[in-house]
Amino acid sequence: MSAYLPKPGAPLDHFVSDTPFDPDATENNAEQRAVAAQASQLKLMWWHFRRHKMALWSGIFLIVIYFTILISEFLAPYDLHSRNTDFLYAPPQAVHIFRDGQLVRPYTYGRDVTLDMVTLKWNYADDPTDIQPLRFFCHGDRYEFWGLFKADLHLVCPAEGGQLFLLGTDRLGRDVLSRTIYGARISLTIGILGVMMSFVLGIIIGGLAGYHGGVFDLIVQRVIEVLQSIPSIPMWMALAAIIPVTWSPILVYIGITIVLGMLDWTGLARAVRSKLLALREEDYVLAAQLMGAKSSRIIGRHLIPGFMSHLIASATLTIPGMILGETALSFLGIGLRAPITSWGILLTEARSVNIIALYPWLLFPVVPVILVILAFNFLGDGLRDAADPYK
């Protein structure tokens, strides 16, 4: 052992870590742990949530895309119903920013159009001699902004007398990109409104069942089991088929929202019931009962806020199902109907295999559906983890 001991008077060896100091690292910092212990639960949830990078970026993406539905008319190059009859089934155009090796203003090429009399297919060829510079913050198709006032300002427009079909056109010559931007307004809001309805139903029915129990709880559980045993799409189809064809587009929109909300409250109701079954035995609930508080006050003021974060995470995971439900119903032709435009209605243009083979760009509206659903799922996972910041 003496061989390992330093000689008397010799300097002691010491080691210094070359790891850079990280002021944000709180795992092994006693002072920052003390600060975390004094932080509010909301701040702890935010610290926990931002560590989930996919959830954080998904939340930013959803905020941006929901903001775009407020200014759809401004972002879309064309009006929702604008038709370009000279460019039916036009493929997507490429945007160029280089010419002769130099960076120039973005532009597209004009197109020569011919009709194949054998296959009856429109053939398009770019004309490199016809250069069409894009215009930004320009005046184009007129529209009514949210039905309040008329305007014609757009973020980007084609050149004067030119065309700009970044995602191609459909069978009527309508710009697919513009219709996709407009369709986001319906598909995204119907998910939010449907979840709000199911949120209210789930809290009320599940709260009463979990707090009171007894016969009411037994009936609610059997109803939930019956509803959950029926496949979702056939049930949606059956209820959507009841909506009269004579209804206006707004009434059909409200009807589809009610259908989706009324059939998706069961999972949330069960989550609320299970939580209330455990919380109703707590001492503060007994104290509220002894003070004469009504059941509605105890549930709404004392029990529900205790696990509201879990409810928000559950609701976030439910929104993708609502969006898929509207898309499926509209794709099958029993959901929303023209002139309302949603992503599901746009996908009805691509129901034929022949159409997909010839004009694959008509499937583009499925891309935002996939991205939004993935973003909501990542966001829901992050919120669910952040709902318990003490674990």
Can you tell me the distance from the alpha carbon of 58 to that of 52, in angstroms, rounded to the nearest whole number? 10
Q: Tens of pLDDT along 283-308?
A: 888 888 888 888 778 877 777 777 77
Tell me what percent of the residues of the chain surpass a pLDDT of 90.
Answer: 17
Q: How confident is the model at residue 192 (pLDDT cuts 50, 70, 90)?
A: confident
Residue 14 has pLDDT above 80, yes or no: no
Percent with pLDDT over 70 in the chain: 88
**CA distances for 168 relative to 26, 136, 182, 262, angstroms:** 52, 20, 16, 38
Task: Report which of 369, 365, 359, 366 is spatially closest to residue 172, judged by C-alpha positions.
Answer: 359
CATH placement of domain 178-387:
1.10.3720.10
pLDDT band at 11 (very low <50, low <70, confident <90, very high): low
- Local structure of 154: helix, strand or coil: strand
DSSP assignment of 240-293: HHHS-TTS-HHHHHHHHHHHHHHTS-HHHHHHHHHHHHHHTTSHHHHHHHHTT-
CA–CA distance, 130 with 133 (Å, rounded to integer): 10
In tens, the pLDDT along 48-107 reads 788 888 989 999 999 999 999 999 999 999 998 889 888 889 999 999 898 888 888 899
pLDDT value for 30 = 47
Q: Residue 375 has what pLDDT?
A: 92
Q: What is the mean pLDDT of residues 228-236?
A: 78
Helix (H, G, I), strand (E, B) or coil at 320: helix
Q: How confident is the model at residue 31 (pLDDT cuts 50, 70, 90)?
A: very low
Q: What span, in angstroms and rounded, lies between the C-alpha atoms of 149 and 246?
A: 28
pLDDT score, position 277: 82
Mean pLDDT for the chain overall: 82
CA 131, chain centre distance (Å) = 38
Task: Name the pLDDT band for 26 (thresholds 50, 70, 90).
Answer: very low
